[in-house]
Amino acid sequence: MNLSAEALRDDPDRAEQIAETLKAVAHPLRLRLVAALADGGVRVGRLALLLGVPQAIVSQQLRILRMAGLVRQAKHDGGSLYQLSDPRMQGLLRCVQGCDRP
């Protein structure tokens, strides 16, 4: 994968794909969900407890992340675990944490 600025500038399809990923995580709760899933699979109820948010809202935000292809749902012991679809999302988390305003 070519990571140069010129490659991105000259590839509108790639720019669109990256913009869609950024849109999906450009919400405080979805960003926190991605961070919570960085270490592995977690059930919805546990995510709700970790983040202090009602389970219904967590499920709604996970649906958005699933539709964007960033999170996947895996059946496990009669329930579902949510996990990041791509381990490179951890790099995105590191990047955005370094981009916050002082």
Nearest by Cα to 69 from 24, 8, 9, 16: 24
* CATH placement of domain 11-96: 1.10.10.10
Q: Write down the pTM of the prediction.
A: 0.85
Q: Dihedral (C-alpha) 35, 94, 18, 24: value to the nearest 10 degrees? A: 20
Amino acid residing at 92? L
How does strand 79-84 pair with strand 71-76?
antiparallel
Query: What's residue 62's pLDDT?
Result: 96
Query: What's residue 92's pLDDT?
Result: 86
Domain limits, the chain: 11-96
Alpha carbon 51 to chain centroid, angstroms: 15
Tens of pLDDT, residue by residue, the chain (102 residues): 556 788 888 889 988 988 998 999 999 999 999 999 998 889 999 999 999 999 999 999 999 999 999 999 988 788 789 999 988 888 888 888 888 766
